[in-house]
Amino acid sequence: MKARALSVGGAWEFEPEVFPDDRGLFVSPFQHEVFAEAVGAPLFAVAQASASVSRRGVARGVHYARTAPGCAKYVTCSRGRVLDIVVDLRAGSPTFGEWDSVELAGDGFRAVYLPPGLGHAFIALDDHSTVHYLLSRAYEPADELAVSLLDPDLALPVPADVVLSERDRTAPGLVLARNTGLLPVHAA
């Protein structure tokens, strides 16, 4: 498995080796030793596993958990393709407001790791795109917030015709979220 640091501090992309044969294929999309070496820590205790299925053109995010300790995520796509976007929402972080993206696909088995404090979004590039998440804490609706995916200050690679939920459509921009104390604070 290959590990590559993303430009957003603490975020990583993992690309496992795929072993195809005439029966199909075998892959290990998570490998503890490679993860621990890259991230510098073992995988977080998994509190919840979740999945979403989206049609082409649906965008979800930029989502994050507001309260400490936040929520770490290990994200994969098992069907279809998505453009996965990681945004640094940690006020005071050296990479605050920066983002990076990775195409995740059901045939490539790449994964993205996000430590607490980073925002997560994706855009479905195919119908039935299925995204799986391992989460370090259970979903708490009152603590789950969003920053606008369409915020011009972020300048994310989002097509104008994306389909958004009401929550994502009305999410505040990065500057407003920071100025009103809604963002996590970077721990040095």
Confidence check: pLDDT of 188 > 80: no
Catalytic residue of the set 32, 63, 113, 128: 63
Question: What are the beta bridge partners of residue 50?
Answer: 133
Does 133 qualify as catalytic in the annotation? yes
pLDDT at position 66: 81
Confidence check: pLDDT of 32 > 70: yes
- On whether residue 185 sits in a domain, the answer given is no
Q: What is the DSSP letter of 42?
A: P
- On whether residue 9 sits in a domain, the answer given is yes
Q: Which two tokens stand for residue 62?
A: 């930029």
Residue 123 CA neighbour count, 13 Å, CB half: 17
Per the structure, how many domains does the chain have? 1
Does 74 qualify as catalytic in the annotation? no
% of residues, the chain, pLDDT over 90: 91
- Report the CATH number at residue 76: 2.60.120.10
pLDDT at position 2: 97
pLDDT, one tens digit per residue, over 48-97 is: 999 999 999 999 999 999 877 789 999 999 999 999 999 999 999 999 99
- On whether residue 160 sits in a domain, the answer given is yes
pLDDT at position 67: 73
pLDDT at position 69: 79
- On whether residue 168 sits in a domain, the answer given is yes
Q: What is the spatial distance between Cα 10 and Cα 72, in angstroms, rounded to a whole number?
A: 11
Confidence check: pLDDT of 170 > 90: yes
Q: Which two tokens stand for residue 50?
A: 């979740």
The whole-model pTM stands at 0.95
% of residues, the chain, pLDDT over 70: 99
Catalytic residue of the set 74, 133, 139, 186: 133
Q: What is the spatial distance between Cα 168 and Cα 130, in angstroms, rounded to a whole number?
A: 19
Domain extent, residue 173, equals 2-180
Q: What is the DSSP letter of 143?
A: G
Q: Taking the mean position of all CA atoms in its chain, how far away is CA 83?
A: 10
